[in-house]
Amino acid sequence: MRILGIDPGLATMGWGLIRSEGHKPRFVACGVITTQPDTPLPRRLSEIDTQVAQLLSLYEPEAIVFEQLFFARNVTTAFTVGAARGVAICRCANYTQQLFEYTPMQIKQAVVGYGKAEKMQVQQMVKLLLGLPTHPKPDDAADAVAAALTHFNAGRFGQHHLMK
């Protein structure tokens, strides 16, 4: 099974793909989708849509996992990142119904064993769990790989995190 993780963002949207080999996760690829701040919002959203479509066509994931958004203060950022996340969800929903989501705390708990782990701890565990020489870069890509790992580790309980 191929699992695509997505860490939503407008300027930088991370993605990471793993596959299962028996009961072990294997790293396939990761990267980021970037848009430029001086580009009008509709164009940026269109670029995200196009690039997500390319990822789906290239890697053909069987499950897609999104990190849920969490914003404490900046409402403007929340709206624009939410728009980018919505575009990615819409593109993915046209591809499959196997869309899942986990909170940042659930991802940290699943990967590190502690829901309030620091970003570097998550990155180190991603590296160890996948047997990589270094953790995935940039940070947004590492977060997306961690989301995919979370779903892999959830096994049959992952169905509880199906987007509603």
- Catalytic position from the list 21, 47, 140, 143: 140
Q: Among residues 47, 60, 67, 101, which one is catalytic? A: 67
In a 3-state reduction of DSSP, which class is residue 78? helix
Query: Phi-psi region for residue 4, left (φ > 0), alpha (ψ -120 to 50) or beta?
Result: beta
Indicate if 118 belongs to the active site.
Answer: no
Q: What is the 3-state secondary structure (H, E, C) of 79-120?
A: HHHHHHHHHHHHHHHCCCCCEEEECHHHHHHHHHCCCCCCHH
Instruction: Give residue 27's region: left, alpha or beta (phi > 0; psi -120 to 50).
Output: beta
Contacts of 39 (CB under 8 A, 6+ apart): 47
Q: Is 67 a catalytic residue?
A: yes
Which of the residues 7, 21, 62, 118 is marked catalytic? 7
Which of 153, 162, 154, 161 is CA-nearest to residue 24? 153
Looking at the annotation, which residues are catalytic? 7, 67, 140
